Each structure stands twice: as C-alpha cells, then as structure tokens.
Amino acid sequence: MNLPVPRRRLAAALGAVAALLGAAGCDRGTEPTAPTLDVGLTVTTAREPDLLRIDYTLVNRSGGELVVFSGVPAEETHDSPVVDPNAVYATARDDTTVELAKRVFAPPEGVGMAVDFVVRGAVLAPGASLGEALRIPLPLTARQPYDSAARPPERADRAVFCVGVARRDAVPPIPAASGDTDERASYPHRASVARAQQLVCAEPFPL
C-alpha cells in the first residue's frame, strides 16, 4: 500500500538533518531493553520529484564491536537474503509520521513462527563508521516483516530515519546457508534480537 505523500515540491535539499546521538536511542515503548550504546548518527535528506534521498553515517563510539542491521533484503526471506541497498522498512509511528528504518522487528505477540525472516548485519569495530546513500522511490510503500497488512498513517507529512544496532556478542547470527556468498551474516527478526537492539534515530523531517 502506498503512503500518501504531499505533491508540493520542496527545495532540492531539505538541509542537513544531523543528529549526533551519543547515549540516546529512540523511545519505542518496551522494544529495546539493551544497555545504551555509544553511537553517533548523522543524516542528510533531500526530496526529488520521484525519490527521497537519505545519506547517513553511523559511528561506533563504544568500546566493543557492534552489529548494524543495515542489510534489508529486496523481499522477506528465511535465508540467504539478497540485500537491496535502498530498501528500508516503512511503518507508521503516529498519525502523521512514517518511520523509515534498517532494523529488526519482533514477531507479532502471541503468534508462533515456524521460521524467521532475516536481515543482513554489518559488523562495526570500535571507532569505525558505516555510511550509505539511500535512494528511496516515492510514493513510499508500507513494509514490515510478518505484517503484510501494515497500514500507513492517513496524513503522512513527515518521516524519521532510524538504524538498529546491537552488541555483536548479544545477537548470534543464524548459520549461513550452503552457497551463500555474502560476507555479511544474517540475523533473524526475533523477539530476543529486538530486545538487544538499540534504535538510533535522527530528527523527523518533512516529506
């Protein structure tokens, strides 16, 4: 389903939406329960007629290795995901805000999953950084693993970009499938992984 996006043209660059988030992640209720990680996120956005540009850099300022759940697959799968570098999960944060994220999700409460959908994770050493330039087609399309009926906010006029991170020793990857040539490990959309995840977000920006 498409998210409604106002057709008005914005300036070529919406300006730098920079967020150096030291000890703060996003408040998502009871989702993340892991200790706060010291990371920095810088985000710049720009709107074009048919796409949204998001350039971000994530810096590991902690003293240990982190996993960044940056490898969202082109489509949900149970093993050997083929990553689309421009893919993000798009969910309704509130009535007017869309969350665009590279992250893991817990399955719906009370639903037993025979197998897990997975994402790729990039290992980030202390002091290292990860940067990507995303080009997301417009209008936006709602997407969330395990929820094919995800509904967008009815009056979406702004978005927030987030990245999920976790301590490497807290999120064991699933075994690699035979013939998998991607060096990045796969991590399941599972409650235990979601609890270990810290969601790091920039400030909301207009669509």
pLDDT tens by residue, 162-193: 999 999 999 999 998 888 999 999 999 999 99
| Reported confidence tier of residue 131, pLDDT bands at 50, 70, 90 | very high
- Segment holding 196, helix H or strand E: helix 191-196
For residue 41, list its beta bridge partners: 19, 58
SS3 content of the chain, % helix, strand, coil (to 5): 5, 40, 55
Minimal CA–CA distance to 144: which of 115, 177, 119, 165? 119
Flag whether pLDDT at 115 surpasses 60.
yes
Looking up tokens 């893919």 gives 87
Angle at 103 between CA 159 and CA 72, to 5 degrees: 95
Minimal CA–CA distance to 204: which of 12, 4, 19? 19
How confident is the model at residue 155, as a pLDDT? 81
User: What is the distance in angstroms between the CA of the first residue and the CA of the last residue of the chain?
Assistant: 17
- 197 within 8 A of 29, measured Cβ to Cβ: no
Flag whether pLDDT at 54 surpasses 90.
yes
Average pLDDT taken over every residue of the chain: 84
Peptide bond preceding 139 in cis form (omega within 30 of 0): yes
As a whole number of angstroms, the distance between CA 37 and CA 197 comes to 10
Please give the DSSP secondary-structure letter assigned to residue 171: S
User: What does the DSSP assignment read for 84-144?
Assistant: -TT--EEEESSSSEEEEEE---PPPTT---SS--EEEEEEE-TT-EEEEEEEEESS-B-B-
Flag whether pLDDT at 39 surpasses 50.
yes
Q: pTM score, two decimals?
A: 0.83
How confident is the model at residue 106, as a pLDDT? 93
As a whole number of angstroms, the distance between CA 143 and CA 34 comes to 25
